[in-house]
């Protein structure tokens, strides 16, 4: 019994630290993914505008 108690006393803090780091990393990754998703949505909105402008420029050019 004493060996089991000693094992958990020595390994417990490392296990708790590992779990905390895992949860913390998952939260940060989720925040980063949400930010990237928002950025990609903004880019997609502006991409359509750029394509429209390019089409307009192409329509003004003389045919080859």
Residue 13: pLDDT band (50, 70, 90) is: confident
pTM exceeding 0.75: no
pLDDT in tens, 16-59: 888 889 999 999 999 999 999 999 999 988 998 999 999 999 99
List, as one string, the DSSP characters of 6-48: HHHHHHHHHHHHHHHHHHHHHHHHHHHHHHHHHHHHHHHHHHH
Residue 1: pLDDT band (50, 70, 90) is: low
In the chain, where the domains are located: 18-64
CA distances from 42 to 45, 48, 52, 54, 58 (A): 5, 10, 16, 19, 25
Taking residues 55-64, report their average pLDDT.
Answer: 88
């Amino acid at each position: 019994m004493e060996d089991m108690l000693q094992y958990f006393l020595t390994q417990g803090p490392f296990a708790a630290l590992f779990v905390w780091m895992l949860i913390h990393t998952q939260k940060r990754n989720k925040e980063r993914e949400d930010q990237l998703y928002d950025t990609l949505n903004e880019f997609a909105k502006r991409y359509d505008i750029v394509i429209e402008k390019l089409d307009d420029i192409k329509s003004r050019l003389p045919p080859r």
